[in-house]
Amino acid sequence: MEKNQNLNMTIDDGEPFFCHEMSVNFNPMQVILDFKSITPRTDMRSKDRPVINVKHNVVMVDPFHAKRMLQLLNKVITDYESEFGTIEKPKAVAKAEKKMAKGQKSAKKDKKTVSSPSYFG
């Protein structure tokens, strides 16, 4: 006679997460993807200083799976662009980059160091 066994399982889907920045690192055994959401907040108790809320979701995969993710992402982007058109840099980002580059050129003349935000890497 066969015994019928049931399996109870729960799935934790986690919270939805909008990523503003991403960094990628690696070691010999894994590729580390660090997805970040950086949000300025207003805190009535500290009017003199802004409050920045930083959330991280870190995903670690082995190099083989990282390469498979790259292939899958490339296919999805190719399919997206064939259906909706070429993905282009938003005009606001291009304008901000141009402004930062201009500021960096003038800072080099003034021998000042200017730090600029990095987007995705």
Q: Write out the two tokens for 19.
A: 């990523």
pLDDT at 1: 56
Q: Write out the two tokens for 114.
A: 């200017």
Structural domain boundaries enclosing 97: 21-110
Is there a domain that residue 31 lies in? yes
pLDDT at 107: 61
Contact at 8 Å (CB) between 121 and 26?
Answer: no
- For the ranges 4-13, 67-76, 78-87, 102-111, the lowest mean pLDDT is seen at 102-111
- Answer positive or negative: Cα dihedral of 14, 71, 24, 77: negative
Is there a domain that residue 1 lies in? no
Q: Which residue has the higher pLDDT, 79 or 116?
A: 79
Is there a domain that residue 115 lies in? no
Is there a domain that residue 91 lies in? yes
- Cβ contacts of 41 within 8 Å, gap of 6 or more: 50, 51, 52, 53
Predicted confidence band of residue 54 (pLDDT cuts 50, 70, 90): confident
Is there a domain that residue 99 lies in? yes
pTM of the model as a whole: 0.63
Q: In percent, how much of the chain has pLDDT > 70?
A: 82
Closest alpha carbon to 26 in 66, 54, 68, 71: 66
Helix (H, G, I), strand (E, B) or coil at 84: helix
Total of domains in the chain = 1
pLDDT at 116 over 60: no
Q: Say which amino acid occupies 66.
A: A
The C-alpha atoms of residue 74 and residue 64 are separated, in whole angstroms, by 16
Is there a domain that residue 55 lies in? yes
Q: Write out the two tokens for 68.
A: 């498979």
Is there a domain that residue 84 lies in? yes
Closest alpha carbon to 69 in 93, 35, 18, 37: 35
pLDDT at 121: 46
